[in-house]
């Protein structure tokens, strides 16, 4: 863990350097992924079967590649009732939140008499990657599948590493209406969704988080298919004054550190004594945490405490551009309203990031690795396309034609110019 003081002479260089430290995909991962993608594209299901045996120690066959409906039903029924209720509760809130994002089609006629507009249509087919290595993630299913269904996507294909599928994951799939599930993970799953592999038909877009191999694969197939984002390690910034319970703030910092040894947790506070109490609470909680090994490595290698006036916090948050930021103060909007770059903002002492991961309703698929400077979290818009509409009658075309011809000729594109000029009777 690093400690920074805003008042130190070297802060303006030391802290940005810390923020810029790489936590992303090693180059050797990309080389492996390149070969996996090429093999699946060339060999189809045969490559999926080989990689399942090599990487997952699973005897995959074309017969057991797809999870049958009866297995989804049986698995969902095994899920404890309280977890099923929580899944249904979360799904309702996620659905309601994303349905409010639905944009309207538009048609209008401008001063030249040209009718213009746009129309929104859902994607035809989306692939959802659901990790299965470290833990079961029913929330990943909900956060990706529920908005896709709300947008009207016709086909939702879910892929997840082979092995026994966790009941909570199957319960979430059932709740979200996902009926197409394939037992394939890693870069080979991304390849199957992008190029097709036997019974796995290609999709138009791939969404969902994964490990370094999945992220590298999504980067390589972009253009053949769309992707949501390139997910990096999890991040949280907590801006807290000394009036907080240090146990709460320590738990919030660990809520992201436990994801991955490369995750990052940063505390910004104006109270050095409070920071010390948070650090002590964090150490105590690490000792009792089942995920303590990863969380300890994350906090040791990538964690930070910044002692700074709270009025400086919005600028520091913008420099970090984190996935999540909490403002645990009495008047959180006073600071939060000045932030431009963050995936999600949590306001007040009773809004921990964990509620956003599960049941708040907003999406937990958020930009990482400072991508909040230029991108947003997953939303209904990721599953929609906008098509422009243009209609001209003879009079409207006459108003547009002279400028069309002039610009086409200026660009050296005579066929463009002629397609307008010929309608004006200016040549054949």
Catalytic residues: 323-324
Residues 416, 404: Cα–Cα separation, whole Å = 8
The per-residue DSSP string of 2-29 comes to EEEETTSTTHHHHHHHHHT---S--HHH
Phi and psi, residue 382, nearest 5°: -70, -15
Residues 356, 364: Cα–Cα separation, whole Å = 6
Query: Quick count: other Cβ atoms within 10 Å of Cβ 393?
Result: 10
Q: Tokens 């999540």 map to which residue? A: 324
Q: How many residues does the chain have?
A: 428
Query: Quick count: other Cβ atoms within 10 Å of Cβ 25?
Result: 18
The per-residue DSSP string of 162-219 comes to SSPPPHHHHHHHHHHT--EEEE--HHHHHHHHHH-BTTB---SEEE----HHHHHHHH
Which residues does residue 347 pair with via DSSP β-bridges, in sequence order?
327
> What are the tokens at 214?
């999945």
Cα 276 to its chain centre, rounded Å, is 33
- By CB neighbour count within 10 A (0-12 exposed, 13-18 middle, 19+ buried), where does 267 fall? buried
Alpha helix positions (H), 222-331: 246-257, 272-287, 292-302, 313-320
Phi and psi, residue 154, nearest 5°: -75, -35
Contact between 238 and 272 under an 8 Å Cβ cutoff? The reply is: no
Residue 44: DSSP 8-state: T
Q: Tokens 């594209």 map to which residue? A: 41
Cα 375 to its chain centre, rounded Å, is 10
> What are the tokens at 252?
């919030």
Residues 259, 263: Cα–Cα separation, whole Å = 7
């Amino acid at each position: 863990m690093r400690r920074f003081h805003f008042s130190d002479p070297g802060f303006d260089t030391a802290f940005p350097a810390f923020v810029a430290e790489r936590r992303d995909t090693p180059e050797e991962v990309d080389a492996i992924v390149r070969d996996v993608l090429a093999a699946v594209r060339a060999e189809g299901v045969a490559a999926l079967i080989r990689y399942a045996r090599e990487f997952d120690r699973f005897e995959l066959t074309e017969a057991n590649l797809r999870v049958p409906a009866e297995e989804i039903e049986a698995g969902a029924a095994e899920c404890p009732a309280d977890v099923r209720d929580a899944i249904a509760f979360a799904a309702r809130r996620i659905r309601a939140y994303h349905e409010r994002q639905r944009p309207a089609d538009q048609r209008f006629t401008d001063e030249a008499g040209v009718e213009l507009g746009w129309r929104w249509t859902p994607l035809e087919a989306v692939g959802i990657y659901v990790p299965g290595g470290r833990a079961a993630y029913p929330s990943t299913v909900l956060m990706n599948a529920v908005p896709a269904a709300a947008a009207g996507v016709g086909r939702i294909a879910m892929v997840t590493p082979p092995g026994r599928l966790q009941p909570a994951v199957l319960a979430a799939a059932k709740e979200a209406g996902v009926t197409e599930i394939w037992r394939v993970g890693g870069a080979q799953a991304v390849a199957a969704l992008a190029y097709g592999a036997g019974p796995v038909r290609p999709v138009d877009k791939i969404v969902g988080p994964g490990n370094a191999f999945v992220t590298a694969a999504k980067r390589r197939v972009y253009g053949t298919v769309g992707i949501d984002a390139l997910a990096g390690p999890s991040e949280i910034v907590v801006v807290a004054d000394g009036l907080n319970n240090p146990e709460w703030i320590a738990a919030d910092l660990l809520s992201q550190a436990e994801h991955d040894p490369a995750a990052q947790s940063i505390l910004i506070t104006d109270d050095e004594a409070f920071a010390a109490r948070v650090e002590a609470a964090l150490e105590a909680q690490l000792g009792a945490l089942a995920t303590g090994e990863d969380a300890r490595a994350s906090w040791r290698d990538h964690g930070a405490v910044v002692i700074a006036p709270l009025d400086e916090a919005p600028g520091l948050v913008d420099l970090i551009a984190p996935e999540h930021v909490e403002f645990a103060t009495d008047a959180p909007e006073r600071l939060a309203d000045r932030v431009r770059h963050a995936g999600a903002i949590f306001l007040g002492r009773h809004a921990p990031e964990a509620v956003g991961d599960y049941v708040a309703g907003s999406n937990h698929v958020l930009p990482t690795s400072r991508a909040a400077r230029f991108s947003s979290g997953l939303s209904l818009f990721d599953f929609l396309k906008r098509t422009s509409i243009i209609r001209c009658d003879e009079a409207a075309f006459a108003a547009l034609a002279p400028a069309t011809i002039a610009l086409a000729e200026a660009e050296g594109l005579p066929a463009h110019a002629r397609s307008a000029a010929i309608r004006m009777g200016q040549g054949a």
